[in-house]
Amino acid sequence: GDFALSPPYTLKKAGELYSYLRSPNAKPLPRKMVYEMLIAASHAFEAQAAACGSLIHVPPPAKPGERLLVCGDTHGQLQDVLVIFEEHGLPAPGNAYLFNGDIADRGRNATEIFVLLLAFKLACPDIMHINRGNHEQRDLNERPFANGGGFAWEVRAKYPHDELLIDLFQNLFTNLPIASLVGEWALVIHGGLFREEDVTLDDIRAIDACRQPPSVLQTRDDTLLFDALWADPHDGDGIVASDNRGGVSIQFGRDLTKAFCARNGVQSIIRSHQLPKRKRGYEIQHDAMLLTIFSASNYGGVCGNRGGVLVFDDRGPAEVKEFYAPPLDEYRALCEERALLVVMPRIAHWLACARLGPARRPQRQQSRGRRAAALASWRQLLYRVSASGVPLSPRRRRSDGPHSSWDLSPSRAALRAD
């Protein structure tokens, strides 16, 4: 039957959902389950926004062996998330994840990605963090897949005639944080930095993000929200208009990155939002103070790029791990084959140990006969029995010495007579 996951949410249940999504038999998740998780997660993110604003603090790894893994755009490519969890471990205490937006649109399995991440978030809030990206907004979600959108149409295809479910997703999106601060090591933000001058962490924290991003920038707050989601870097200095994002967004130079980091006491900026130029899973710019991390491998099924995951350890940003995920149906088939390779030897061993099968029938019959004979001998020793072998009463015990024992003499005589 269909997979079902209900409250209370636990890491075990989240792990079972992960295993189900790897199965070739996986179907769209039950509507009721998606509703319950979206409502619970929206309440959690609303409370977080009320307490922290649009900027959250993500604890950096504190001890050797602990990790924080930062993932970039996944754009509905469920196979990338499944491969990341397979290679780097499921979210758990000491193995936390931060997804830096753009989970929605383009690919056709963003619903499953959101539900999987939320399952871990609801089970243990400190091991899963999610930033908002520019594709976590309604107008892009309503575009067709061919025009870079598609998420609303994905939801409609899986849950027909349910506009309320799309509204619930939008409510979740507007409550996601705009940026995350990982100690003093890095500010993690989807798009990038700002055209406004002297922006501080407090300014980011105070952004009114519980709304759809504006298409017309009328206030400083509008501009900060828009740039946080849409800005791109360029290799020079200063602010320039972006030609490839509608003429409204901007590109920021290395001087802005250096000034922002110095003003706010952070060592680097981690962002996502665009495919790295060399089709790697990452790109380093601005004198190694800016890192783009992108986690949708073979983006759109045509780009041939690797995906990347940034790994923080207790000493800071340690390395970028790259990967290349096969298409989802191929990945699920591989998971099934690997599971069979593990299970079949165990079944063969169990069959051999249990001596099952027609060829072993004589041996099983002999074994049962030996057990029955042994049982009959012990019955003769311990009980007085009738002629038919039915136990009547225990044999009396002797107590004529320092140690009492069973009176076995009649049985011994009977054994000698045999």
d(CA 101, CA 115): 14
Residue 135 annotated in active site: yes
Distance CA 11, CA 320 (A): 26
252-276 pLDDT, tens digit per residue, is 999 999 999 999 999 999 999 999 9
Residue 278 CA from chain centroid, whole number: 27
Task: Give the position of tokens 């009649």.
Answer: 410
Long-range contacts of 330-333, Cβ-Cβ distance < 8 Å, separation of 24 or more: 331/22, 331/79, 331/82, 331/83, 332/22, 332/23, 332/24, 332/26, 333/24
Instruction: Tell me what the mean pLDDT of segment 137-144 comes to.
Output: 97
- Asked if residue 251 has pLDDT above 90, the reply is yes
Residue 240: Cβ-neighbour burial (10 angstroms; 0-12, 13-18, 19+): middle
Is the pLDDT assigned to residue 404 strictly greater than 90? no
User: Taking the CB of residue 397, how many other CB atoms lie within 10 A of it?
Assistant: 9
The string of DSSP letters for 43-55 reads HHHHHHHHHHTTE
Question: What whole-number distance in Å separates Cα of residue 7 and Cα of residue 287?
Answer: 47
- What digits encode the pLDDT tens for the residues 16-33? 999 999 999 999 999 999
Across residues 137-158, what is the average pLDDT? 97
Range of weakest confidence among 13-27, 58-72, 129-143, 353-367: 353-367
What value does the mean pLDDT take over residues 163-191? Answer: 97
For residue 408, what pLDDT is reported? 42
**Mean pLDDT for the stretch of residues 389-398:** 56
The DSSP line for 128-173 is EEEE--TTSSHHHHTS-GGGT--HHHHHHHHSTT-HHHHHHHHHHH
pLDDT of amino acid 263: 98
- Integer Cα distance of 237 and 233 in angstroms: 10
* pLDDT value of residue 153: 98
> What is the predicted pLDDT for the residue at 359?
67
Write down the mean pLDDT value for the chain: 89
- CA dist 315 and 363 (Å) reads 62
| Predicted pLDDT at 350 | 66
Q: Between vectors from CA 27 to CA 25 and to CA 31, what angle results, nearest 5°?
A: 155
| Cis preceding linkage at 8, omega within 30 | yes
The alpha-helical segments, DSSP class H, found in 209-265 are: 220-230, 254-264
11: phi then psi, degrees, rounded to nearest 5: -65, -35
CB-facing half-sphere around the CA of 237: CA atoms within 13 A: 3
pTM: 0.83
- Unique residue bearing structure tokens 């690997």: 338
Q: Name the active-site residue from 129, 135, 190, 273.
A: 135
Task: Identify the pLDDT of residue 199.
Answer: 98
Residue 390 identity (one-letter amino acid): V
| Spatial contact of 176 and 132, defined as CB atoms under 8 Å apart | yes
Q: Write out the H or E segment, with its range, that includes residue 392.
A: strand 391-394
Calculate Rg over the CA atoms of the chain: 32
Two tokens at 276? 């790295």
pLDDT one-digit tens code per residue, 41-69 = 999 999 999 999 999 999 999 999 999 99
Pairing outcome for strands 391-394 and 95-100: unpaired
| Mean pLDDT confidence for 306-323 | 96
